[in-house]
Amino acid sequence: MKKLTNPGKASIVVIILFLSTLWVLPMWRIDLRAPQYPGGLSMKIWINDVKGDVDIINGLNHYIGMSTIHKKDFPEFVFLPTTMAIFMSLGLGVLLLNRKVGYYIWTGMFAFIGVFSFYDFYKWEYNYGHNLNPEAPIKVPGMSYQPPLFGYKKLLNFEVLSQPDIAGWFYIGAGVLLVSITIYEWKKNMAK
């Protein structure tokens, strides 16, 4: 079985360091701006919590019938830290075994976790923006309030921007590095 190159081995350490930022920095942010909030409002999503102007956002969302946001309502805050810790531990195993096939499998696992995480986040945003309380004080027929998964969207008088925060960019960087090194390792393997 083919052994990893030195760049392949070094990338495992870098990827684990990148992913460790998930426990100390926010991974995603949703920023809202409206005339009545010129300084804007911000909700920061961490690997195990949601912080920022959540109470103010919950108060505003009450008027249009959106559910309130509470940490306890997100099982992801339990399984995502566990999943990422296991993934990082498996990376150490790949490093110790020093086999290209292990690296390829590790990359595939990251791709699966990433796709599933974005799907899960989209599904939450969809439910959050579409399942409105019919007793809400403000009703706009046909209007849904789903925040964008990524990017900008205008919702009534609010401008909403959804994007990675610092740990999210490190997470994306880890994925780019994994795929790049997988391609590099594969090409090195084919050249022999």
pLDDT at 116: 93
- Dist CA 143 CA 136 (whole Å): 13
pLDDT in tens, 13-57: 999 999 999 999 999 999 999 999 989 999 999 999 999 999 999
What's the pTM value of the predicted model, to 2 decimals?
Answer: 0.89
Query: Quick one: which of 178, 138, 184 has its CA closest to 13?
Result: 178
As to burial, measured by CB atoms within 10 angstroms (0-12 exposed, 13-18 middle, 19+ buried), residue 110 is buried
Query: 76 or 84: which carries more pLDDT confidence?
Result: 84
pLDDT at 65: 84
Task: Sketch the domain layout of the chain as residue ranges.
Answer: 6-191
What fold characterizes domain 6-191?
Answer: Butyryl-CoA Dehydrogenase, subunit A; domain 3 (1.20.140)
pLDDT at 82: 96
Phi, psi of 99 (to 5 degrees): -130, 135
pLDDT in tens, 150-192: 999 998 888 999 999 999 999 999 999 999 999 999 998 787 6
